[in-house]
Amino acid sequence: MLGLGLFSALLMFVDHATGWLDESRSTITTAISPVVVIADLPNRSARGITELLSSRESLRRKISSLENELILLRVKTEQMAALTGENNRLRDLLGSAAKLQDNVLVAELIGVNPNPQKQEVIVDKGRRHGVFVGQPVLDALGLLGQVVGVSQFNSRVLLISDQAHSVPVQVLRSNLRLIAQGTGIDQQLELLHVNSTADIEVGDQLLSSGLGNRFPVGYPVGIVDQITYEPGKPFAVVKAIPSARLDRSRHVLLVFSESRASPIVDDVDPETANLSSRSGTGDGSSG
Amino acid sequence: MEAVAENKLGAVVMIWVTFIIGMVLAVVPLPDFIPGELGYLRPDWVAMVLVYWIIALPHRVGILSAWVAGIVVDVLLGSLLGQHALAYVVIAYVAMNLYQRMRMFSVWQQALIVFAMLGLNQLINSWIDNIAGVSDWSLWYLLPALSGAFLWPWAFLILRGLRRRMGIS
């Protein structure tokens, strides 16, 4: 008993201080992935039953509204393509590198961390699909988090609202650079070290600033919700609401930025797998 | 099925099947309509299964099984490798020392002792979480022990029924 106890303590220390155990952890995760799949069955079958029971009429309505949305998104995409081209020409004139489109891979949520103090989810794409540790994760509305562990078939995503997570952000209106830290509460971020005199207002949009080379530039992170100035304190307390639906998104996007490897795609044409066109098809594959 | 469980291998397989069911219950996501705060009430099913098997078959399930189950749970929950393993080894040790007494108790008396064991389990886990800086201590950590102790009689009866029907020994 003492031996195993000491061995566990040693393992924990090694795991906390180094990355030597990541390989064995991912092997065990792969071996026990059936447990995660079984645990997801009730939810999955509940969704299936809801789909079975929904009437023809409502399905038809859903399809037509989705088709309308698709057309709108297509138009926007075409505009985007023109804008991107123009942007790159302008960057060319300025002598800076052209900005490439980020490739994304659509993944589905298959589990959440049962500990309510940890904001973590499990998604159904893993190393086999090219997912890597540190990869940024988005949903349709904004930045969701980053990958902290991968196994063969699934990976673990730390949400931006976790206490242990921070994102470098930028205020869209004033270009003020800040750090947004999770609070452990679902729909809340806290901005660190905001000067009392800083140019920030309630309702300001926060974008990822791309500093630190972890997250891509320019994705929405949150909206400033509340600013409290405390007399005598050098920093204001600023809270923000995340843009991504952290507790509701079923489909998430794993981003492959320009500098990183591209996704290993087995069923998707890589030409079409850029962000603007894939985000539309993501919802369609839910059935 | 009885013939399957007659031999040692069958018994070991059935025991691990119950452990895996406990693990599934430990990670099954709550449906959307249930508020996330109820997650604080989720008992540590694997620890309860472990305590049952140690009371019932101490020659089959012991400290080593506890450690292996703990490592698997660590991987499932993404906690530090060895965290649940250590906690399970400790409660397995306590249960190994108490199993003869616990067999004499009624289920509700057992539930009281199970509460102490599960509380110890939660305490060890939260200590490690604290040291590693993962989360802050709060009394909420003891809620799973409370709900686990409350559900113990049913868990006990189900597992005993299974053991008798399958003839696991």
Residue-level pLDDT at B110: 92
Interface test with A, best of B135, B142, B147 (most A CBs within 10 A): B135
Residue-level pLDDT at A153: 86
Interface test with B, best of A28, A50, A117 (most B CBs within 10 A): A117
Cβ separation A149–B78 shorter than 8 A:
yes
User: Exposed (0-12), middle (13-18) or buried (19+): which is A67, by Cβ within 10 Å?
Assistant: exposed
Q: Do A9 and A128 form a contact (C-beta atoms < 8 A)?
A: no
Tens digit of pLDDT for each residue in B41-98?
889 999 999 999 999 999 889 899 999 999 999 988 888 889 999 999 999 999 999 9
Residue-level pLDDT at B15: 92
Q: How far apart are CA A39 and CA A111, in angstroms?
A: 8
Chain B CB contacts of A28 below 8 Å: 71-72, 75
Q: Do A155 and A142 form a contact (C-beta atoms < 8 A)?
A: no
Q: How far apart are CA A237 and CA A229, in angstroms?
A: 6
Residue-level pLDDT at A278: 37
pLDDT > 70 in chain B, percent? 92
Of B63, B80, B134, the CB nearest to A1: B63
Q: Is B130 on the interface with A (CB under 8 A)?
A: no
Cβ-based neighbours of A38, under 8 Å, separated by 6 or more:
B24
- Token readout for A219 is 């994705």
Q: Is A237 on the interface with B (CB under 8 A)?
A: no
- Token readout for A126 is 């893993």
Nearest CA to CA, how far is A115 from chain B (Å)? 7
Mean pLDDT within B10-23? 91
Of B27, B39, B85, the CB nearest to A116: B39
Interface test with A, best of B25, B30, B75 (most A CBs within 10 A): B75
Write down the residue that tokens 């489109």 correspond to: A101
Nearest residue of chain B to residue A116 (CA atoms): B39
Q: Is the ipTM of this complex over 0.90?
A: no
Tens digit of pLDDT for each residue in A157-212?
999 998 889 999 999 998 899 999 998 877 889 998 988 888 888 999 999 988 88
Q: Do A180 and A222 form a contact (C-beta atoms < 8 A)?
A: yes
Mean pLDDT within B118-145? 83
Mean pLDDT within B9-35? 85
Window B:139-158, CB contacts with A under 8 Å: none
Q: Do A104 and A275 form a contact (C-beta atoms < 8 A)?
A: yes
How is residue A162 annotated by DSSP? S
Nearest residue of chain B to residue A8 (CA atoms): B82
Cβ separation B82–A112 shorter than 8 A:
no
Of B37, B76, B83, the CB nearest to A12: B83
**pLDDT tens for chain A, residues 1 to 287:** 788 888 888 888 888 888 788 888 888 888 888 888 888 888 888 878 887 887 788 888 989 999 999 999 999 988 888 888 888 888 777 766 666 667 888 898 887 777 777 888 889 898 898 899 889 998 888 899 999 988 888 899 999 998 889 999 999 998 899 999 998 877 889 998 988 888 888 999 999 988 888 888 888 999 999 999 888 888 899 999 999 888 777 888 898 875 555 555 454 444 444 444 333 333 333 33
Cβ separation B27–A114 shorter than 8 A:
yes
Residue-level pLDDT at A273: 44
